[in-house]
Amino acid sequence: MTDLITLVNKEVTRFLRIWKQTLLPPVITIVLYLLIFWKFIWSQIQIIDWVNYIDFIFPGLLMMSVIMASYWNTSSSFFWAKFQKSIEELFVSPISHTKILLWFCIWWILRWMLVWILVFITGWFMVDIHIYSYFYTILFLIFTSALFSLAWILNAIYAKSFDDINIIPSFFITPMVYLWWVFYSISLLSPTWQIISRANPILYMVNGLRYGFLWISDVDVFVSMSIILIFLVFFFVFWLYLLGKWYGIKS
């Protein structure tokens, strides 16, 4: 247990040392989004699903900040460690692969907790925030952070150069920002597009968090949690498999 705590303390210290790169960007992003929608769009769309539009999109913006921040920090930091070959020192140490994976998950969740708190405090001054279920809110934030931390690091494992790190944000994250149901409800879509939308797992994450804040959701909250847990278990097991093979780590 001491080795796990030591690793977590090391990464938290490093994370806080470069707070301008790790904590400030998500806060600036959420402020810009809220200013745009609050100042220019809320006057045109004031009510959606019986709540104020700006209150409706805030949980989605919070989830979007967590997902995008988890990618940039997780993927780039792991690839940099792999590029410097410092990650190999960790894997030749007498620490089990399960503990190493738990270490990644724990300090990533601690990192995103700071992001959540800062974004939440920022939004508190701009949005009339009401949390109807702290249990579901915290649960969806923790599981989504862990899931995307494991998912995004796969990109760093398979990446062969720094240019490969930009593939996901350029071709997937940026386009999907407008399809994450952050800004609208799928009930506004045609039946065909509603079916297509349900094939995207991010829909369930955004709506799960919105359920915790506003007690409304386009999908059943238990279905949302089940889908997140399935993906989380899959990535955890797949990660252990890659660690056992030293794939993308051992040169």
Q: Where are the domains of the chain?
A: 2-245
List for the chain the helix, strand, coil content (%; round to 5): 75, 0, 20
The answer to whether 218 and 205 are in contact (CB under 8 A) is no
> Which of 140-149, 158-167, 188-197, 199-208 comes out lowest in average pLDDT?
158-167
pLDDT surpassing 60 at residue 251: no
The answer to whether 75 and 82 are in contact (CB under 8 A) is no
Phi and psi of 52, rounded to 5°? -60, 140
Distance CA 75, CA 180 (A): 21
Query: Which is it for the CA torsion 236, 237, 241, 242, positive or negative?
Result: negative
* Average pLDDT of the residues of the chain: 77
pLDDT at 62: 84
